[in-house]
Amino acid sequence: MKLFNNKTLLVLLLLISGYGYMISCTRDNDLIVPVQLTQPFVPNRGNNVHTPGTQTAGDPAQWKMDKSHSSVLWSTSYVGASGLLTGRFNQFGTHEVTAAEMQNYTTSGQPLLDNSWAFNESDPSQTFINGYVQINTSNTGEPGRDAGCNISGMGTTAIVSGTQNLNVTNIAKIKSTKVELDPTSNGYIVTLDFTWQGKLTSPLTKSIVGKLNYVPKSRIASATPYDVFGLQLLFSFNCRDFGITSTSIADKIDIECNMNFHNK
């Protein structure tokens, strides 16, 4: 009888100990803090300030757009196929073109100063950018398309040799209205007024949102050293808003502006 009682007591003690262990483990699990796998983004911006000034050559405080090393690219889906249609505009600038300046210019160079921009790395309220492209200089690498369906499809006129056509029917313009810090990157969120006539009877302005990226200033070693920096502007618009009815292209057109500047 005594042996039975001892065995019974031992079993009870084991059961109680096991139950207490399980309860303690459960409480320990409640105290575990989950590991944060994705760390919050920490911006890393400097204090660079770039302005065009009067574009005086040889003044390192005045930045000039390096058009030969810049580009304005476009792309859109080719409806019915898996690939993209892509191209670039051969003529463009960073100037806020006024109504009086919308005309033909007999020149092979930039018809207007590329001076309608400013960039402040740490204070986006001091940053702005304006610009334009000449629609009839769209270049897909296929001359038949560029001088054919692209001209008629976009409501413009063919290129005239030696002439820069900044008429209202041949330019699309952007004008920034707000620039803000991007909370997810070192870039900036830009609100733009996009103006184009397309195949409408008069120009239409649409407000769109894009992304601005800064390529920080660096020094180019040469006989006369100079500095460079870059701005990349990305945005999209709906071509149907501007009367483009071609069924060969998608509604959305993506634009990538790669603007490089130097202070030579």
Residue 69 CB coordination number (10 Å): 13
Please give the structure tokens belonging to residue 25.
């483990």
In one-letter notation, the amino acid at residue 140 is: T
Model confidence over 240-254: pLDDT tens digits?
999 999 888 899 999
Give the pLDDT of residue 232. Answer: 98
Q: pLDDT-derived band of residue 115, with 50, 70 and 90 as boundaries?
A: very high
Model confidence over 192-242: pLDDT tens digits?
999 999 999 999 999 999 999 999 999 999 999 999 999 999 999 999 999
Q: Which long-range contacts (CB under 8 A, 24 or more apart) does 215-223 make?
A: 216/46, 216/48, 216/121, 217/48, 217/50, 220/262
Please give the structure tokens belonging to residue 184.
């997810």
Regarding the domain delimited by 49-262, which CATH topology (the fold level of the hierarchy) does it fall under?
Lipocalin (2.40.128)
Tokens 């993209």 appear where?
84
pLDDT value at 27 more than 80: no
Domain ranges, ordered by start, for the chain: 1-29, 49-262
Give the pLDDT of residue 47. Answer: 95
pTM of the model: 0.84
Tokens 């900036």 appear where?
188
Instruction: Enumerate the β-bridge partners of residue 206.
Output: 194
Q: pLDDT-derived band of residue 19, with 50, 70 and 90 as boundaries?
A: low
Please give the structure tokens belonging to residue 179.
């620039």
Give the pLDDT of residue 3. Answer: 47
Whether 110 contacts 97, CB under 8 Å: no
Give every CB contact of residue 94 below 8 A, 6+ residues apart in sequence.
65, 114, 115, 116, 117, 129, 130, 131, 259
Least trusted range by pLDDT, from 35-39, 72-76, 144-148, 161-165: 35-39
